[in-house]
Amino acid sequence: MLDSNSELDETRDLKGCIVVSLQQLKAFHLTVSAVMIDLAALRETVLTRPGMKSRYKKNLARAAKKSRPLVREAMQSYDDLIQSTLEDGTAAGNPSTVGMNIH
């Protein structure tokens, strides 16, 4: 027979691990999103008029603006999942320690 305290500790450890994993996945998602935005702007810049730095900046801003709602929604999903895991009262950590502002 397993000790109930031991099972509780294992559950807490597992949930803490899940929260950390979700936070890392969230950070990875943000990084990939930023790379995708940059590549979209670069592609458009190079294919239309190579060498125009101001055009690149405009394209980057436009691509970021277009993807902002999708990234925001994904980040909220991660936060909700992390929060629901934390609400079980077993995981340590702050779900909002990982992330970046997408303006």
| Every domain of the chain and the residues it spans | 11-86
pTM: 0.51
Report the mean per-residue pLDDT for the chain. Answer: 79
- What pLDDT sits at residue 89? 59
On the question of pLDDT at 64 being above 70, the answer is: yes
> Who contacts 53 (Cβ-Cβ below 8 Å, separation ≥6)?
none
Q: Cα–Cα distance between 93 and 16 in angstroms, integer? A: 8
Q: Cα–Cα distance between 48 and 85 in angstroms, integer? A: 47
Report residue 94's pLDDT band, with 50, 70 and 90 as the boundaries. Answer: very low
- If one counts every other C-beta atom within 10 angstroms of the C-beta of residue 16, the result is 16
